[in-house]
A = this chain, B = another copy of it.
């Protein structure tokens, strides 16, 4: 084994162990995104792959104090589940800063492996599951990291300063839409998990 291959092997073992521990801790403390845990546990159980951060998808009310810049953005609400019109409306009526947007964000996940060939395998699994967004974002000896994301999304301004920009009927419609997009997003994630279980070892 060459020197760089040895370094790579060592790096992979370390990274895989560390992420497995982080996952266990997150599960114990109930910090992990429930719908993501099953997939992450499976990946952690394989010999050649690990997951780092992940989110199964969510509905947000996000504050943008200075318009569309995300730099100072903060969450006014963050739900990892379906929501009701009433809770959206209530949150909207509370005091917020700058612009307030409703966002439905798709799942995002990072899967790592130790070789380029295995990273390509993840790309192939994505393709079979119909996951179109993502690619290899880190490519070094012993650490190849694939980022992948769903594509169900919604991004709608609701409020500027104290002024609510949308009417109740429209908000009700938005909430339903965000909920159904979240469902679709979960289905895509399940499909991806199924393909992972067949292809990754």
Contact = CB atoms under 8 A, between A and B. Distances in A.
A180 interface: yes
Nearest to A166: B170
A200 interface: no
Nearest to A154: B155
B123 A137 contact: yes
A29 B60 CA distance: 44
Contacts of A67: 180
A165 B140 CA distance: 50
A193 B151 CA distance: 26
Interface in A142-201: 146-147, 151-157, 160, 165-167, 169-170, 173-174, 177, 180-181, 184
A120 B138 CA distance: 8
Contacts of A173: 157, 160, 165
A98 to B, nearest CB: 13
Interface in A112-137: 116, 119-120, 123, 133-137
Copies in the complex: 2
Nearest to A149: B133
Contacts of A123: 137-139
A68 interface: yes
A194 to B, nearest CB: 20
Nearest to A153: B155
A122 to B, nearest CB: 11
Nearest to A157: B177
Given A116-B139, A135-B136, A156-B156, 9 more contacts: A68-B180, A120-B139, A133-B133, A134-B135, A134-B137, A135-B146, A135-B147, A154-B156, A156-B157
6 contacts: A134-B137, A136-B136, A153-B155, A154-B156, A154-B157, A165-B169
Across chains A and B, which 9 residue pairs bring their CB atoms closest together, nearest first?
A: A135-B135, A136-B136, A135-B137, A156-B156, A155-B155, A135-B136, A165-B170, A154-B155, A120-B139
